[in-house]
Amino acid sequence: MELLITQIIFLLLLGIFLLYVSRKQNLFTRLMHFLFPQRSSMLSLAIFRIILFCALILVSFKGFNNSYWLSSLPDELIYDSGYFTNLFPVNSKLVLVAKQLFIFFCFTSMIGFFTRPSMILASLLGLYVLGIPQLYGKSYHIHHLLWCSFILSTARCGDLLSIDSLILINKSKIKSYAPEMYSMPIRFIWLILGLIYFFPGFWKLWSCGVDWFLGDNLNFILYDRWARLNDFAPLFRIDHYPFFLQFGGLLVILFEISFIFAIFSDKYRKYWLIMGLIFHSVTYVFMKISFWYLLVLYFAFVDWENILKRRINYARSTGITNEHNATIYISTFIIVCVIYCGFNKIDSWPFAVYPCFDHFYPSTKETVEISLFNSEGVEEPLSVDKLINQFDPSRWDVLLRRIAKEHSKREKQKSCRALAKVIYFSNPNKYEGKTLQFNRVIINLNPESDIASRKLEKIYQLTLSTNLN
């Protein structure tokens, strides 16, 4: 009943707000003024192009995006709906070539050499290269970088700070365009960031109501995250101060839901950006979630021409023309897909709702614990830290949880056998002739609890040898 009341109040407040805004100005007219402002953005768009493709190069080298190594893993460790793997074969040699080409075209996009063809090729290759790591247990939400690269590939972001622009200047072929040609892609990117924030806030409130931030739920969200980080704990244990933790949870919901509305206001937009930086900083301190690749989009809000006092001569505005069509079609398609995934809570590739944390977290987690025994049956310490880092700790944790929760015993054993192969071939000399045992266990997430874990059942046991291959 409390949840229903919360949902009704939320809808009423949202309706009143939209009604108030529409009375001041027609919503469609306001949206058009927002998307097509008569402001200069050529320099801002060029700088954002450089930052975005630099970020894509950095992401391709991140540990969680180890696409070449991941593509060599057994197929039994792939967790996907099927359509992606059917469209794009998971092949390590193909991934290696595609990744090298992806980095090359990101670099040429960044320096502005054959800018538009480079961005198109980088975006298409990114669908494959950045999509492979999404298949192995955990989705990493770098989707927005690819969405923005597709939007920029339709825009005139190579008209400044690019090799292409230098060539055109030398040939005296530089052409002047209206300011909205450069501002429109930026504004679509603002909308995407607003939607990324909106749906997690919406689902927290819609699924859990005010109980999401009241009670012990936030404590268990923290404990669950700390457990994935090998029992990490921040210097300041905010879980010991319920008022600050719950008040912070309320602010998170308000910030996420309101961000998309604040970006329409020239007066208030900057304050929400500052709150966003504080939000991500606090999240990193207490949960080690940096999300730096989302903060890349914050650079799209910087008015570089005003900051650097750079004056650029633009052509007279002519309204919406055929020059705008590609950007409008691609951006609208992306936004519609983001909205669809947001309302349906679809977490897939290349479109997804971003992490919502929209349920009540339990005080325990069900996972798989792996034990190593020598040929005499004596247990030995299993050191797989290097392997976990190759997987990425979060992906490793999610993988073990998914194996524990599989309903079919046969599927559980197939996944355990596949994981045993990976462990064995990471160091065959060390593991030859030894036995791995996979147990389903319940782990208490509260770091101050006296009860650490409880064994439920033995899932699988396997003696390691070269016959595994």
Lookup: tokens for 343: 């309302």
Query: What residue has token string 């193909």?
Result: 94
DSSP annotation of 371? E
Angstrom distance (rounded) from CA 374 to CA 457: 21
> CA 17 → CA 250, 269, 349, distances in Å?
19, 17, 33
Name the residue among 234, 246, 336, 216 with its Cα closest to residue 289.
Answer: 234
Place of tokens 């593991």: 431
- For residue 132, the model assigns a pLDDT of 87
Q: What is the pLDDT of residues 225-250, one digit of tens each?
A: 888 887 678 888 998 999 999 999 99
User: Token pair of 83, please?
Assistant: 């359509």
207 neighbors 6 (Cβ within 8 angstroms): no
- Cα distance between the two ends of the chain: 56
Q: How many residues does the chain have?
A: 469
Structure-token match 């409008």, residue found: 328
Give the whole-angstrom CA distance, residue 2 versus residue 69.
Answer: 48
The string of DSSP letters for 240-301 reads G-HHHHHHHHHHHHHHHHHHHHHTT-TTTHHHHHHHHHHHHHHHHHHH----HHHHGGGGGG
pLDDT < 50 regions, the chain = none
What are the pLDDT digits (tens) for 10-36? Answer: 888 878 877 776 676 666 666 666 666
Q: Looking at residue 387, what is its pLDDT?
A: 84
What pLDDT is recorded for position 114? 93
Count other C-beta atoms under 10 Å from residue 370's C-beta.
Answer: 16
Please identify which residue in the block is written with the tokens 């770091």: 447
Sheet containing 453-463: give its strands across: 379-380, 364-373, 435-444, 453-463
pLDDT at 450: 62
> CB count, 10 Å around CB of 458?
11
Q: How far apart are CA 206 and CA 210, in angstroms?
A: 9
Radius of gyration of the chain (CA): 25
Query: For position 206, what pLDDT does the model report?
Result: 92
Q: What is the pLDDT of residue 78?
A: 82
Give pTM, 2 decimals. Answer: 0.89
- The pLDDT assigned to 38 comes to 60
Decide the pairing of beta strands 435-444 and 453-463: antiparallel
Report pLDDT for 177: 65
- Where do we find the tokens 């950007």? 327
CB 296 within 8 A of CB 145: yes
CB 133 within 8 A of CB 65: yes
In whole angstroms, what is the distance from residue 64 CA to residue 262 CA? 33
State the DSSP code for 38. S
Q: How far apart are CA 370 and CA 416, in angstroms?
A: 10
Distance CA 30, CA 22 (A): 9
Q: Which of 199, 215, 195 is nearest to 207 (CA)?
A: 199
Q: What is the DSSP string of 456-469?
A: EEEEEEEE-SGGG-
DSSP at 88: S
Task: Output the CA–CA distances (angstroms, integers) from residue 269 to 258, 264, 279, 304, in the order listed.
Answer: 11, 7, 15, 16
